Chain A
Amino acid sequence: MLHIEKLKKVYRGGKIAVDDLTLDIQKGEFIAFIGTSGSGKTTALRMLNRMVEPTSGTVTINGKDMMKINPVTLRRSIGYVIQQIGLMPHMTIRDNITLVPRLLQWQKEKSEATARHLISLVNLPESYLDYYPSQLSGGQQQRIGVIRALAAEQDIILMDEPFGALDPITRDTLQDLIKELQRNLNKTIIFVTHDMDEAIKLADKIAIMHEGKLIQFDTPDNILANPINNFVKEFIGSHRLIQQKPNFKTVDEVMIKAISITIERSLDEAIRLMVKSRVDTLFVTDGDNRLLGYLNVESLTGDARSKKSVSEVYIKDIVYMKTGSKLQDSVRRILKRNLNNIPVVDNQNRLIGLITRANIVDIVYETIWGDEEQELKDS
């Protein structure tokens, strides 16, 4: 849907920022432009909505030559998430989200409905629509920054280091959120980053840039498996190359059965179940086994004593992994967020298993001493 051919930007003074960039982007792909600062990745991104005018080369969007579209019209049709958030400080969250719809003079009701729908997509309450950006935390602000880019039903979203200003945990949450949004809404996202972990985690394809040139453009797995030259190898970092080599174990292979309880049960039953199964955490699901949240011993003490049912005390804020995710991602997440365990869900969000710290110890043990045991048995 997006065809970039020999795109070039030469700044005054002769500095070549982007040199003959050629690549094709399909609908629904998540593309990462990655490189060190000065590699031309941001300039390349900004040429795609003509924030920076290309010196030469062509970009065709759905068969249309971008240079023939009025820049203002073009920008309203392409979402843009700017670095450092960039919300309008004097506008309410509602006005920020509906900025492009308002520029396009949508009906008020339609804009309002869009704002309500979008804010629910990023798990923020509707009451926040009346707040101002300064009343929100950085992570919340960038959630708004992201949905602002979706408000006019743009198919292509450009993101310029969208999570650079956030702390690691907020960043991780937002990465999950954006990946999920992109999958569910089938948007084409092109984002710029200098963080290789972020690129590997999010992107379907990574474009590695260096000094204005595209060095390698491929899927993360292929790049990790076959870095095209030494520069790419160095850029990826040796620790990632080693990490990548051993078995691509998925969470499905090692997960254990999760103990869950449905939401309409009473707290008495929950406690009895905990005692019976000797666990401190129960996962709360609906009738269809969809994961809603969790319940742990801490949530059962204190003022929870006066409450009677699971639905009153369970915690909705839960981190989970999708089926088919790499085991190493779950390890990273457990360690980064200091979790004891992480539930695994299928594509319909149904609870199918659990990864615990104990699982991980087993895996570590197996990788380090597993071979030795094998040898002992063999001999």
Chain B
Amino acid sequence: MMSFFTENTAEILLKTWEHLYISFIAILIGTLLAVPLGILLSKTKKITKIVLTITSMLQTVPSLALLAIMIPFLGVGKTPAIIALCIYSLLPILNNTFTGMQSVNENVKAAGRAMGMTPAQSLRMVELPLAMPIIMSGIRLSAVYVISWATLASYIGAGGLGDYIFNGLNLFKIDLIVGGAIVVTLLALVVDFLLSRVERSMIPKGLRIQGGRSS
């Protein structure tokens, strides 16, 4: 087992990088799509249900099937893999953005409006800062999903750590399967940890400080 790590160190690092790269691009695009969409949804409540239903449905498509569906349209390689993973990352981010925006206290929003904030100012100065921790936790959730699912991307030739697992399956080499799985798990854990730190730093200071002072 150890020999897997010692003999393939350089290659493992390369594949890890590939894996991270695919996941990162997918989450980045997913975030850029889902956050503005989530904000929009929180403002126009009519279409909220429809959009959230569609994204939940996309979420239920089996991941391997979704990857396979990409092949006729986009061929094999990194691009279809990134697109498929990106679709998966949408729902948690969209959901959390929507929830985060909804969670902002109505009275605080009304105060902003009564003070003469434009809708854009209210969004930038009040709603986004207060919704940020919840949005960020959606991004973190997505990131962990996407990193583990990116393993399957190897199936359509996108590379990454999934290569070890699929090779291991084909050649029936247990140490390849286990070794690949260990690295993916570690990667997911590390990213989760780092993003949880980011998430915490996103909580506005005024919300972290508690403690009364009597009048």
Report whether chain A binds chain B.
yes
Choose from A72, A89, A100 the contact partner of B207 (Cβ within 8 Å). A89
Which residues in window 166-215 of B have CB below 8 A to A?
A: 204-207, 209-215
Give the interface of B toward A (CB within 8 A).
Answer: 105, 107-108, 110-118, 121, 125-126, 129-130, 204-207, 209-215
Q: How far is the CA of A77 from the CA of B114 in the complex (A)?
A: 10
Give the interface of A toward B (CB within 8 A).
Answer: 49, 51, 72-77, 80, 82-92, 99-100, 103, 132-140, 148, 170
In contact, A91 and B206 (Cβ under 8 angstroms): yes
5 shortest interchain CB distances as A-B pairs: A90-B204, A76-B116, A132-B206, A86-B111, A75-B116
Q: How far is the CA of A258 from the CA of B129 in the complex (A)?
A: 54
Q: How far is the CA of A49 from the CA of B111 in the complex (A)?
A: 12
Q: How far is the CA of A83 from the CA of B108 in the complex (A)?
A: 10
B-side contacts of A100, CB under 8 Å: 115-116
Closest A residue to B209 by beta carbon equals: A132
In contact, A82 and B211 (Cβ under 8 angstroms): no
Q: How far is the CA of A49 from the CA of B105 in the complex (A)?
A: 21
In contact, A103 and B115 (Cβ under 8 angstroms): yes
In contact, A170 and B206 (Cβ under 8 angstroms): no
Shortest B166–chain A CB gap in Å is: 47
A-side contacts of B105, CB under 8 Å: 86, 89
Q: How far is the CA of A87 from the CA of B206 in the complex (A)?
A: 11
Shortest A123–chain B CB gap in Å is: 10
Closest A residue to B203 by beta carbon equals: A90
Query: Known contacts A86-B107, A90-B204: does B117 contact A103 (CB below 8 Å)?
Result: yes
In contact, A80 and B108 (Cβ under 8 angstroms): no
Q: How far is the CA of A170 from the CA of B214 in the complex (A)?
A: 11
Q: How far is the CA of A135 from the CA of B208 in the complex (A)?
A: 10
Q: How far is the CA of A103 from the CA of B105 in the complex (A)?
A: 21
Shortest B212–chain A CB gap in Å is: 6
Query: Known contacts A100-B116, A103-B117: does B110 contact A90 (CB below 8 Å)?
Result: no
In contact, B206 and A92 (Cβ under 8 angstroms): yes
A-side contacts of B210, CB under 8 Å: 134
Q: How far is the CA of A314 from the CA of B67 in the complex (A)?
A: 78
In contact, A49 and B114 (Cβ under 8 angstroms): yes
Q: How far is the CA of A357 from the CA of B199 in the complex (A)?
A: 59
Cross-chain pairs A/B with CB under 8 angstroms, 18 sampled: A72-B116, A73-B116, A75-B115, A77-B116, A80-B111, A82-B111, A83-B107, A86-B110, A88-B112, A88-B126, A89-B105, A89-B207, A90-B130, A91-B206, A103-B116, A103-B117, A137-B212, A139-B215
Closest A residue to B204 by beta carbon equals: A90
